[in-house]
Each structure stands twice: as structure tokens, then as C-alpha cells.
Structure 1
Amino acid sequence: MKVLVIGSVYPRFQEDAEVPWLRTSIAHLKKAGVEIQVLAPAYKGLKSHDIDGTHVNRFRYAPASWEILTHEEGAPSKIASKPWLQLLAIPYIINGFFQCIRICRKWRPDVIHAHWPFPHAYIALGAAKLFKIPLVLNFHGAELLLIRKKKWVKPLLKFAIGQAQAIFANSSFTAGKIKALRNVDVEWSPYGTTLEGASLPLASAADAASATPSSGGTPQRPEPHAINNKFKILFVGRHIERKGICYLIEAAKYLPRDKFEIRIVGVGDLTEQLKQQAAAVNDGAEIIFTGKLSPEDLANEYKTANVFTLPAIVDHKGDTEGLGVVLIEAMELGLPIVASNVGGIPDVVVDGESGILVPEKDPAALADAFKRLEADPTLIQKLLAGARNRIDKCFTWDGIIERQVEVYKRLQQ
């Protein structure tokens, strides 16, 4: 079986950290016997190339110095800061459209799987119709949230949904948005972890600080207090509005300084603003900004943390977390979760079973959840066991890919 995967972003070189979940997904599809090619836009003149033995077809859409619409940051965010970039949307779609036809004429895939259907459904539709290739549209949430700001997107998406033979959604939240546009069957197709061999045993709270491989190769967590007396609260992600970091900083006021430490990993447009906010917190938990970390230093942050948090919100544009794959990875690494009850997060975090959910924009509720975990190792032990069950049930790549391949096969019958 041959599948052409279309997306706005794909790794440009071997060490590129762009869309690791998509790269991992394709690796698992290939492992299942599916032959894959990728169609993605060029970045600053980048030519077609191979990654992990997969051929990546790059289509050009502007002079090399202008090909910055995708990669490194979402296109909507780039357009917000550089409005002229929206002029590239038309050549982007046209050139992608014809490149898709060329690939399908030569390679003849059995299925076209287009991620982010706005605009990639329109890149795929010509080849799908011309060569009678089934089309799968894969929604990740952001394209649906665009409707609130750009009303003209709604009829385009509604039409595209009607042309597809199958629809995938990364979360039940995203699926609900799709069904509100058009009443169609939607397959839930989340992401699994992108970690390789990093899973840690789901230990008790008292053992959840760091990991050191034993001679047998199984990571073990030593006592946290051997390293730091404070209960470490970890956030990892871009510093943008929908991550809700400002509410995590506000929660520090409710946490005793001698017991708690908040560690904020990453960078983004709001970094300096958030640092200023944190500097104004005189009492409460210490707040540390680590900046962007190497893979080794990031792994150490996970190993020495006691809890992982994602205090996400629905931002002023209506954007929020489509799924929260970082939560799955934190679960895999043996950390209990505290997160906001928004977007696709409840698909991962079942309150009281695989983590703790709190209302969005509620610093006091965040602080209370951290205090509960710090005071009750038995609760963390229960949540970690529930997290393991949740991952095994819904977020293993073998299960995700098996369901995808079943859909592909059904479309060929």
C-alpha cells in the first residue's frame, strides 16, 4: 500500500525537531508495511530530500528568501506579525496543487492523507479527483479555530470535508468542531509519544524526582529529596498565550516558597513579559526560566521534576490545545499531570484517574492541585497507574497506526 502524506511542515534535516509526532507516525506506518512519500513546502529554497529513508517532495512557491510561510512557527502567527506573508498563500496552493498531481501521476499512491485541511485539502483535491485516489483529511484543531477570525474559511472547510472519503481528528474536541460544520463520521486518531526508549516506571510520588539507568537498563527513580527539598513543578512549551503560563506564575503566590519550585522551559513571544510578571511575585514559590534546552538538559528536567503541568486556556483568538501530546510524553516519563480542562486535554487527562484537571485561568485551583500531590504520595501513585492504563488504551503507536491502516484498507475496497 502506498500513501502520500501532505503537510505544511516536515523536518528539513536529520536533527530538525519540527513535527516529531508526524515523523514518528510515518516511521510506524512504514513499520506496518505502508510505503510513504511526503509532500511539503520548501523552506528558503530547500530542495526535495530524504529523511529516515522517506522521500520528502518539496514544492517551491516563492523566491527562496520569501519561503518562510511555514516551519519554525505556525503560519497564522507569522502572518499576524508579517501581514504580507498572506500574499504567498495563492502561489503556495497553486504550486502545491500541481506538484501533487505530478507525484500522483508518476507514483500512483493508493491513498492521499492530507494534514491541516486548510489549505492542504485544496492541494490534494485535483490529484484525488483526476486519478480517483481516496482522500483522507486529518484535522488538528487550529484550522477549525480559524473560522472565528476568518469567516470565509468556513465554507471552504465545509466543502473540503464533503469531498473526503475519511476524516481523522486528533481529539474529541476537534471532532466536535468538524461535526458542527458537517455531520460526517470522524475517526479519532491521536498522537502517541515521540520519545524513544525513554519510558520510566510509573513510580510513587516519593520516587518521582530523577532517573538513573541501572545495570539492567531499566530506569529507576531515586528519592527526590536527595537532590532538592522542593516539590518541582515543570512546564515545557512555547511561551504563547494559549499555554496559560501567566496563570501558572500567578499560582506561585499560593505556594510556600520553602516547599515548591516552578520551572518554565522554552521560549516564545511572551517570554520577557512573563519574566517581568514572575519578578513581581515576591512571596510564594520560586520561578525559574530555563530558556531553550538541549535534549540532554530537557531530559534532566523531566527526571528531576515531581509534577508536569499544562495550564492551557482558550486564547483571545479562540485557539487552545488540540490534544496536548506533551502530556502523553510526561506520563510516559512517570510524572503526574495537572492541566486545564480545555480543548483536547480531557482526552488525555481523565480527572482523578490519569491526572488532575482544573478550570482554565484559575491560579488558586492550580495551586491547590499541586498542594494535594505534594502532600499525598498515594494519590500520585494512583494517578500514575491510571496514566499508564490510559496510554495503553488510547495512545500507543501500534494501536493508532492499526486503526489508520484499517481505514486506508477500507477505502480501497
Structure 2
Amino acid sequence: MKVVSLPPRRKLLVVLKGYPRLSETFIAQELLGLEKAGFDLTLISMRRPTDKKRHPVHDEIKARVVYLPEYLHEEPVRVLKGLFSSFRKPGFGALIKRFFKDLPRDISRNRFRRLGQAMVLAREWPDGGQWLHAHFIHTPASVTEYASLLTGVPWTCSAHAKDIWTSPDWELTEKLSSARWAVTCTRNGYEHMHTLTSRKDAVHLSYHGLDLARFGHFPGERSADDGSDPTKPVFLLSVGRAVEKKGYDTLLRALALLPGDLHWRFEHIGGGDELAKLKALAAELKLSERIIWKGALAQEDVLDHYRRADLFALACRIAANGDRDGLPNVLVEASSQRLPCISTSVSGVPELLVDGENGLLVDPDDPKALAKALETAIRDPALRSRLGDAAEMRVRSHFDYNASIDQLSQLFQQEWQKAS
């Protein structure tokens, strides 16, 4: 990885919805990569952590974390100090003008919360920040943009998936006209954002990739089990939050359609609001005895599961509110370990997996098609081996996160050279 020579004392304030989060290892990897590239970071989190575990990468990040008031009424003194301080800032008029332009289009408590958080950030202004960068273009970018208007400090953004597809077009257009630039991690999202701005050079495609040193080559042998022996069931794995866009109900219904003479077991790693509902569905489908629900696990434990499993499945879909995955990092992680993946042709998934070449893809919300793909892969260990080898080759040649860090470093450097 190229190390960018930065001007002295360039402090970058990174605004996050929550930190640390087990489900956002790709963000943690990027933060660590930027630190290693010479950036001086302070993390601004809009929420306190709710996960009980941490990944090792979180302990390697040296940046200080500052927590904004998650709810304004919980810290009224900080909020009032932020408000009174804002009256004296030269950008106050521009901020209020923008806020009252936004408010009629989004009359909500959240809109006032973002304004209050931005005012607190602008008053406290940790560690003499000289640049603002938001992770996610929805609520974190709202706080970041408001703070930028108030202080005059420029801002940039990393957009991902849910934040793009659940934000109204008017809001994305406004933010893309205000930010110096934005990056996003799938071509699908990149092309959508391009349609919403006339500043075509302000949107960049940057796959966040994987820290391949952390996910080294797995030289071990995969099993040759084919589901015919009840004492050697094929080990199916999935990692992801139990939320609508992950399609776990579709996956469970597909498992229920597998032939009775096929022997398999399934393990799920992850938390999520719909976990109880999924367990009830599994019981209804008479699958409970074949399923283990592991809950959230640390990264080293997830890696161990990738190396022991025979097949990885993730039935991504577009949720009713438009939410969807970009390119799920778990597919990249599993592929890096030669674990063959079955998924759906949603969003950025086909940018990693090509059906029949390095994985198997089916249409979303189609349990029958998913069951057919699962049965094919379970019965054919040679196919699993071929797909897994090809998947690893694809990841190691195209999804090294160092390329993304180099790109981000160069984008920041170009902006700071203009300001010098």
C-alpha cells in the first residue's frame, strides 16, 4: 500500500452512526487503513455501542472516540451550549436556511436531532478537526453537512447501501452538491448516485474490499461430504443480521424444500430484530433440529466457521422500504477462504459472484430456485471445490482493501493540496 505524505496537522473527524459495531467490519478496516496511511483521525459517533463483543480490528484503531448526544433530551446542557454557541458562528445563517429547506420535506424528530448533534459537534470541535468525513450518506451525512455549514470546514462522504436506497432522491442530490466528493462501494450504487448530480467527478466507485492479511489463504482440506451419509451432514453456514433484506425467511423455506434423503446442518451467525421470528419459522417448517443459532460472534470466531463450513448461503433481497445490501462483506470474507457461496442477483452481489464460475446465483425471493442450487452444491463436492477456488482467486485479485485505502488517500490529498 502506498503511504501518502500528508501536510502537517491534518486532523480528520469521521462521523459514524455508531461505533464500534460488529456488523461494520468494513468500516473498521478502512479506519485502521487510513491510520496506517498516516491520517490523524478522531471518531465522532452518533450512538453508543450496543454490541457486547468487539472485533480485534477495533482494538488496533488508535483514534479517540467522541459520542454525541444520542437523544437531545438526555443531555440538555450539551445541546443548549451547542445552540447558544451556534448563534455566534458565521455559518449559522446558512445552516438555518438549509435546515428550514429540509424540514418541510422531512418533518420528523430525527431532523431536529441531527441539527442538535451538529451544533454540539461544532461547539466542542474535538482535536482541532480540519476535515469532516461521514460514513453513510443518510443520517451521519446530515450531521456532517450541517456541521460543515456551521463551521465552514469541508466535508466528504462514504456511501454504502441502505443509506443510498432508503434516502429520498432530493436529499441525495442536495448532499452531493454540498460534499466535495463521495465514494460508494458498488457499481449499482455508483450509477444511481451519478443520475442525481451534475457533478460527475464528485462520485467515485471504491470497493472497500478485504484485509487479506487478516483473512489469509486457507490451505486446509474441504470435506467431500455429499449429503448421502446421515453421520456426515454437509455443513451450511450463513452470517448476517436477522433483518428483512438478508432474506433468511426465503433461505429457511428453501431448506425445507430439500429432499428428505439429503443430510445437512445449518448454522447462523448474527443478531438482529427478526431472530425470534426466524426461530419460530424454523420450528414451523420442522427444521429446528438441524439449525444452530450462534448469535453475534467476534471476527476470529467467524473466520473459524468459514474454514469449517462446506457451503455459504445468503438470500439477499430488496426490502419493502427499498433497503438492500450493497456487496455484503460476508460474501467477500467467505470467498477469501475458498468457501463456495450461493446468493442472489441483487445489487452488488454479481460484481463479486458470477453464476457457475465462482458461485451460484438465483433470483431473490425464490425458495424453489434457491433449494435447487443448494441441492446441486450439497450433492457435488467437486463443484463446491471448483467454485471455492475460483471465488478466492477473484477476491485476492480484485478485492484487496489496500486499493481502496490508496484511492481514498489520493482523494483527500488532492483536496488538501488545493487548500494549501
Task: Provide TM-score, normalisation by structure 2.
Answer: 0.76
Match of 2:195 in 1: 180
Confirm or deny that 1:376 pairs with 2:375. no
Confirm or deny that 1:24 pairs with 2:39. no
Write out aligned runs for 1:255-294 (5 A). Answer: 255-257=258-260, 258-282=262-286, 287-294=290-297
Equivalent pair of 1:145/1:318 in contact (CA under 8 Å): yes
* Cα distance in 2 between the residues matched to 1:228 and 1:86: 56
Confirm or deny that 1:240 pairs with 2:256. no
Equivalent pair of 1:202/1:381 in contact (CA under 8 Å): no
* Cα distance in 2 between the residues matched to 1:168 and 1:356: 28
Match of 2:128 in 1: 107
Equivalent pair of 1:97/1:122 in contact (CA under 8 Å): no
* Cα distance in 2 between the residues matched to 1:285 and 1:59: 42
Match of 1:249 in 2: 252
* Cα distance in 2 between the residues matched to 1:304 and 1:233: 10
* Cα distance in 1 between the residues matched to 2:125 and 2:363: 47
* Cα distance in 1 between the residues matched to 2:186 and 2:413: 22
Cα 1:389–1:157 change in 2 (3 A) is same
Deviations 1:105-154 (A, max 9, x none): x6242x4221222233343335545766543221112223224xxxxx43
> Which range is displaced more, 85-94 or 381-390?
85-94
Match of 2:56 in 1: none
Confirm or deny that 1:40 pairs with 2:50. no
Deviations 1:374-411 (A, max 9, x none): 33333323322322222223321211101111111222
Letter in 1 for 2:216: S
Equivalent pair of 2:31/2:61 in contact (CA under 8 Å): no
Cα 1:200–1:259 change in 2 (3 A) is farther
Equivalent of residue 92 in structure 1, options 114, 121, 139: 114
Q: Structure with the greater relative contact order (CA < 8 A, sep ≥ 6): 1 or 2? A: 2
Confirm or deny that 1:314 pairs with 2:296. no
Equivalent of residue 172 in structure 2, options 153, 157, 178: 157
Letter in 1 for 2:338: G
* Cα distance in 2 between the residues matched to 1:411 and 1:228: 61
Deviations 1:30-65 (A, max 9, x none): 111122112222539xxxxx9832012222252449
Structure 1 unaligned residues grouped into runs of 5+: 45-49, 67-84, 148-152, 210-222
Write out aligned runs for 1:294-373 (5 A). Answer: 294-295=297-298, 298-373=302-377
Cα 1:265–1:256 change in 2 (3 A) is farther
Letter in 2 for 1:262: F
Equivalent pair of 2:242/2:271 in contact (CA under 8 Å): yes
* Cα distance in 2 between the residues matched to 1:266 and 1:17: 9
* Cα distance in 2 between the residues matched to 1:285 and 1:261: 10
Confirm or deny that 1:116 pairs with 2:136. yes
* Cα distance in 2 between the residues matched to 1:333 and 1:285: 28
Structure 2 unaligned residues grouped into runs of 5+: 1-5, 50-58, 77-106
* Cα distance in 2 between the residues matched to 1:399 and 1:225: 43
Letter in 1 for 2:29: T
Cα 1:119–1:269 change in 2 (3 A) is closer
Cα 1:33–1:178 change in 2 (3 A) is same
Q: How far did 1:229 drift? A: 0.9
Q: How far did 1:286 drift? A: 5.9
* Cα distance in 2 between the residues matched to 1:303 and 1:203: 8
Equivalent pair of 2:341/2:360 in contact (CA under 8 Å): yes
* Cα distance in 1 between the residues matched to 2:307 and 2:60: 30
* Cα distance in 1 between the residues matched to 2:412 and 2:207: 16
* Cα distance in 2 between the residues matched to 1:279 and 1:285: 5
Equivalent of residue 62 in structure 2, options 53, 59, 76: 53
Secondary structure class of the residue paired with 2:138: helix
Equivalent pair of 1:265/1:290 in contact (CA under 8 Å): yes
Task: Provide TM-score, normalisation by structure 1.
Answer: 0.77
Match of 2:102 in 1: none
For the aligned residues, what is the CA RMSD?
3.4
Equivalent pair of 1:204/1:378 in contact (CA under 8 Å): no
